[in-house]
């Protein structure tokens, strides 16, 4: 048995209206240059460089159209990627927790990012704030570096090497 998947796609193109108008005709949509995300499993979003073709004249789209006409779009099983996917899901669908590792693994592995860039999403919380140290500082309006009280008046910025009457 084959597992057929549907994917929710966020369109940010001018073709959005055309696709909505043709939705009842079940068009085949080919999209190049999508951003793949991990929102609730897998998500796809168009970019400014994305190209969307409606009913393209390709062998793949002809094969898909033929399948649709032969079976009237009926399939035995269809899962929607992006919702209700659990780590134990059948059929090889990757869950959003598939490649989860601990932060200690990331910081102790010097080979990460050598071949290609590595990106991480980290969820953390603050467990301690030093009460004797302030959490913010007054900053220069020009360069946003920390300022100190000037001897005469105003504020001194080491980055710009100048006095200013105001700071942010």
pLDDT in tens, the chain (168 residues): 444 555 666 666 566 677 767 766 777 888 888 887 765 566 777 777 888 788 888 888 888 888 777 776 565 444 444 444 444 444 444 445 556 777 788 788 888 778 888 777 777 777 887 888 777 888 999 899 989 988 888 899 988 988 888 888
Q: Is residue 48 part of a domain?
A: yes
Q: Is residue 68 part of a domain?
A: yes
Q: Is residue 154 part of a domain?
A: yes
Tell me what pLDDT residue 50 has: 80
Q: Is residue 93 part of a domain?
A: no
Task: For strands 29-37 and 78-81, give the pairing.
Answer: unpaired
**Domain boundary residue, one of 49, 81, 113:** 81
Q: Nearest to residue 40, comparing CAs of 78, 2, 3, 80?
A: 80
Tell me what pLDDT residue 11 has: 64
Residue 31 and residue 52 in contact, taking contact as beta carbons nearer than 8 Å: yes
Angle at 61 (CA atoms; ends 60, 62), nearest 5 degrees: 90
Q: Is residue 114 part of a domain?
A: no
Domain that holds residue 164: 134-168
Residue 43 and residue 82 in contact, taking contact as beta carbons nearer than 8 Å: yes
pLDDT 10s digits, 27-54: 788 888 888 776 556 677 777 788 878 8
Tell me what pLDDT residue 75 has: 55
Is there a single domain that holds both residue 8 and residue 73? yes
């Amino acid at each position: 048995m084959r597992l057929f998947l549907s994917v929710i796609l966020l369109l940010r193109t001018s073709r959005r209206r055309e696709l909505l108008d043709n939705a009842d005709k079940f068009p085949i949509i080919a999209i190049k240059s999508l951003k793949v995300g991990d929102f609730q499993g897998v998500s796809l979003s168009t970019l400014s460089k994305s190209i969307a073709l409606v009913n393209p004249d390709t062998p793949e789209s002809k094969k898909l159209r033929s399948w649709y006409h032969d079976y009237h779009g009926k399939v035995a099983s269809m899962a929607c990627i992006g919702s209700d996917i659990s780590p134990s899901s059948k059929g090889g669908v990757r869950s959003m927790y598939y490649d989860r590792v601990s932060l200690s693994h990331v910081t102790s592995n010097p080979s990460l990012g050598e071949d290609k860039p590595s990106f991480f999403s980290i969820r953390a919380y603050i467990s301690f704030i030093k009460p004797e140290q302030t959490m913010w500082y007054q900053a220069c309006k020009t360069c946003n570096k920390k300022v100190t009280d000037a001897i005469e008046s105003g504020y001194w910025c080491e980055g710009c090497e100048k006095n200013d009457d105001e700071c942010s």
